[in-house]
Amino acid sequence: MFLRAIARPLMAGVKQTTGIVGLDVVPNAREVLISLYSKTLKEIQAVPPDEGYRKAVESFTKHRLTVCREEEDWEAIEKRLGCGQVEELIEEARDELKLIEKMIEWDPWGVPDDYECEVIENDAPVPKHVPLHRPGPLPEEFYSTLEKLQLNSKEAPPAVTSGESKAV
């Protein structure tokens, strides 16, 4: 028991397995994550600054980057972010980089003048015997990103008001 108490700080350094098939353990996960996030922050500069996409990506990437820089241990990173394992984070960061590259190539920014979009809020109650799909709890930084997005969009006048469609 005392042996484990002494050895625990050392034991936390090595991860045996991720528990997910096909996802190997990355021993230097922290460095990989820091490099990926810094690259993401550089790449996202190519997106126009008003876009919700850019704000969202910057917000959560910065948060994750600060957490990764502060914490030395992968276990501490995982616990603080609450977003799953570091290998999953690496995968997400790589996918996000791919996505940014593709978005820059497709260039879908800007709202066309005659844009009208119908947002339907259907609150019709579902009958009780039908099983509802209840998504699980989302990570905390999702909510903080969402708040930042909504704050920013409320400052500028929104193009469409939700609940009604804007006829041209």
Partner 1 sequence: MDNQFIFKYSWETLPKKWVKKMERSEHGNRLDTNSDYLFQLLCFLKLHTYTRVQVSIDICGVDYPSRKRRFEVIYNLLSTRYNSRIRVQISADEVTRISPVVSLFPSAGRWEREVWDMFGVSSINHPDLRRISTDYGFEGHPLRKDLPLSGYVEVRYDDPEKRVVSEPIEMTQEFRYFDFASPWEQRSDG
Residues interacting with partner 1, by CB under 8 A? 51-53, 56-57, 60, 84, 88, 92-93, 95-96, 98-99, 102-103, 106, 108-112, 115, 117-126, 132-138, 142-143, 145-146, 149-150, 153, 159, 162
Q: How far is the CB of 140 from partner 1 (least distance, A)?
A: 12
Question: Which lies closer to partner 1 via its Cβ, residue 9 or residue 163?
Answer: 163
Q: How far is the CB of 57 from partner 1 (least distance, A)?
A: 8
Q: Please, which residues have CB within 8 angstroms of residue 118's CB and are 6 or more apart in sequence? A: 165
Rounded Cα gap, residues 53 and 18, in angstroms: 30
Q: Please, which residues have CB within 8 angstroms of residue 111's CB and are 6 or more apart in sequence? A: 159
Cβ atoms of residues 84 and 23 within 8 Å? no
Question: Which lies closer to partner 1 via its Cβ, residue 5 or residue 156?
Answer: 156
Question: Which lies closer to partner 1 via its Cβ, residue 26 or residue 103?
Answer: 103
- State the amino acid at position 99 in one-letter form: L
Give the single-character DSSP code of 123: -
Q: How far is the CB of 74 from partner 1 (least distance, A)?
A: 18
Tokens of 94: 């790589």
Question: Which lies closer to partner 1 via its Cβ, residue 34 or residue 149?
Answer: 149
